[in-house]
Amino acid sequence: MLENQSDSNSQNPQLFAKETWHKHFESYQISGQTKAEYCRKHNLTYHRFIFWCGKFEKGNSSLAITDDGPAFVPIKLKSNSPIKQQTLCTLEFNDGKRLLIHDVVVLKALMSGL
């Protein structure tokens, strides 16, 4: 049975959330229920449960939450020289920043995540 851990993790709500959702995820896996059934039985918000299940199923480190909060994932650039390849896709953000995609593998990965 899942117990309330609000006292032990009251200083870091993100850590509390991660631990709580991970316990629900583990409990769901052995329950034999569908995700919807498990959410109804435990009064969980379905879309939030799906979000956390996705993180735990994929082991997605880019969305990892540490004791200090959301983690940043370092990226390495292959070269400091200007890009001379054809731009396949440009993503423009509301703040005016742009992300230029020059690699078809990266573009396919981004498209599969949408």
pLDDT tens, residue order, the chain (114 aa): 454 444 444 455 555 688 888 899 999 999 989 999 999 999 999 999 998 888 888 765 444 555 455 556 667 766 666 656 688 888 888 888 888 888 888 888 878 776
C-alpha span between 54 and 58 (Å, rounded): 6
- pLDDT of the residue at 110: 78
Helix, strand, coil percentages in the chain from 3-state DSSP, rounded to 5: 45, 10, 45
Token pair 């449960």: residue: 49
- pLDDT of the residue at 81: 61
Residue 34 tokens, joined = 């569908």
- pLDDT of the residue at 62: 44
Q: Domain-by-domain residue ranges, the chain?
A: 13-70, 76-114
